Amino acid sequence: MEKVYLDCNIILDWIVDRQPFSLFATELIDLIEKKRIIGFVSPLILANCFYVIQKEINREVANSFLQDSVKLFSFIDNTKIDVQLAIDSGYKDFEDDIHYYTAINNKLEYIITRNKKDFKSEKIKLFTAEEFLIKIKNSPA
C-alpha cells in the first residue's frame, strides 16, 4: 500500500472546500478512508490546519476536524533532526523543509501538495492531489 504525506494545503482544500482543488483532495481522502493508501500527517500539519479552519470557518468545525483526523490519518512526528536538517538546508520555505525531512526520515514514498515548487524533490516524489489520483488510476490494482 502506498504511503503519502499530506501537506496542509491538501487537507485545507478538502475541509474548506477550495474549488477546484477540493474535488481532488476529497477523492484522495476517500482513498485513505477506504484504506487504498495510507495518509500520514504530523502534529505540525494538524496545528496549521486547525488554525486556518478556526479562522476561515469556526472553532467547532476545527475541533471536529481534529477528532476526525485522529481516526483517519496515520501520524508521524517532527523531530529535532528534521528541524536541524531544515535549518541546515538553507530553506526556501522552512515549514515545508521540515515536512520534507519528516517524510524522508519516516521512509514515506510521496508528498502530496499543491505547492510542489516549495519542496525539494531529490529524495521523495512530489505530486499534486490530481497527479497522484491519475497515477493511482493508471497503476495495476
Domain positions in the chain are 2-135
Enter the pTM of the model. 0.92
Strands annotated E in 1-141: 2-6, 37-41, 74-75, 110-112, 125-127
pLDDT tens digits, 83-121: 999 999 887 889 999 999 999 999 999 999 998 888 877
Instruction: Give the CA radius of gyration of the chain.
Output: 14
44, 78 contact by CB (below 8 A)? yes
- CATH of region 2-135: 3.40.50.1010
Per-residue pLDDT, 139? 78
